[in-house]
Amino acid sequence: MKNLNQNKSLNVNEIHLEPDFDINSSPESGQLRSSIYQFGILSPLICFINKDRIYVIDGYKRLNIAADLSLKSVPVIVLDSSFGFEKIAKIRLFSLNYDSEPNLYQKISIFHFLGINSVPIQELYAWRNQLNLPHNESQMDKIKRILQWPKPFLNYINKYNASYRQLRPLLDKSEAELQPIFDIGIQLSVRLVELINISELVFESALNKKVSIEEILSHDSVRVVLSNDQLTKSQKTQHLKSALFSLRYPAISQHRLKALQKTKDINLPPNAQIRFDNSFESEGLQLIINIKDENDFTSALSLLNTKKNIASLKELLDI
């Protein structure tokens, strides 16, 4: 194939990571490291030359492992710039697509790479469609901000393969606003979906209360959770969500609390439980009684025969 320089070995130090193409997604696998340790790199890295520098476009992990293992040289296929930036982008896209759809950072990186390398505007539109990026220019401007995000943010969204739909609520936020959110995500290993949920609770609470994000995150109820070393990461995440929910939805939270307190007033036998719609949109409540033997009947009857219980159930209905 023209423009293809095969069967070449290059010193690891001669190969660079293209800054606008640094979009590795899945974590490095131990198997790959072990294989390279035992047998070296078996399939060549694909690189291209741009302005006298050689950049890797497929083989980021292999290159990193080779550097870690102090391998002197690695096999490469080097494409020169006449190969075409679009083809280079396609190779990168295919290598990313191997496991799943590229995440938003990967998509915008490819799009940006094409843009700065003077790919014609019509071709760029076609790429935007192919990458499922929005047509709306203001949205695209917001997405491009991701390219400026700090490395820990990018590692996080790569780890969870974050899509446009998922990241959309974060795109108009500044780095300073996002920093405490990503700190929570990284420190507590919060899954992306949960982190977006947490971020919405934080940002919306701050706007509703007309205070800063820092003030929300330093609110007593939140601080107590974040500083509690007795809790596991998962427990901390759940408690944090609950504390933030109370700040964002005070009326709903108070209503739930009131309902729970009323439920406690009812002298429930062990085989009974009360359930109600958490959003309080559905009318009424459910009284669930498990009956296995005669004793269960008796305790169920005692529940509904007590005036105090009936009064409490009525109160619960009227909340």
Among 8, 80, 234, 280, binds another protein (CB under 8 A): 280
When asked if residue 37 is in the footprint of another protein (CB under 8 A), the reply is no
Read off the tokens for 244. Answer: 């933030």
Contact 107/117 with Cβ under 8 angstroms? no
For residue 149, state whether it binds another protein (rule: CB under 8 A): no
Q: Which of residues 234-263 bind another protein (CB under 8 A)?
A: 249-252, 255
* Total Cβ atoms within 10 A of residue 55: 21
Task: Report the candidate in 251, 252, 228 with the shortest Cα–Cα distance to residue 239.
Answer: 228
- Give dist(CA 157, CA 193) in Å, integer: 11
Fill in the DSSP letter of residue 115.
H
Q: Give min distance, CB of 241 to another protein, in A.
A: 16
Q: Is 177 in the site for another protein (CB under 8 A)?
A: no
Tell me whether residue 56 or residue 202 sits nearer to another protein (CB atom). Answer: 202
Determine the size of the site formed for another protein (CB under 8 A). 21
CB 181 within 8 A of CB 202: yes
Q: Within positions 127 to 146, which residues make up the interface with another protein, using CB under 8 A?
A: 135-139
| String marking each residue 186-205 x if it binds another protein according to CB under 8 A | ------------------x-
Rounded CA separation 180/24 (Å): 24
Question: Can you tell me the distance from the alpha carbon of 274 to that of 163, in angstroms, rounded to the nearest whole number?
Answer: 39
Segment near another protein (CB under 8 A), from 24-32, 41-49, 167-175, 289-297? Answer: 167-175
Q: Per rule CB under 8 A, is residue 281 in the interface with another protein?
A: yes
Minimum CB separation of residue 251 from another protein in Å reads: 5
Beta bridge partners of 47: 56, 78
**282 is a contact residue toward another protein (CB under 8 A):** yes
Pairing of β 285-289 and β 272-276: antiparallel
Q: Are 38 and 126 in contact (CB under 8 A)?
A: no
Residue whose CB is less far from another protein, 168 or 239: 168
Closest distance to another protein from the beta carbon of 209 (Å): 10
Say how far apart CA 57 and CA 290 lie, in whole Å: 62
Taking the least distance from each CB to another protein, the nearer of 73 and 139 is: 139
Residues near another protein (CB under 8 A) are 135-139, 168-169, 172, 204, 207-208, 249-252, 255, 279-283
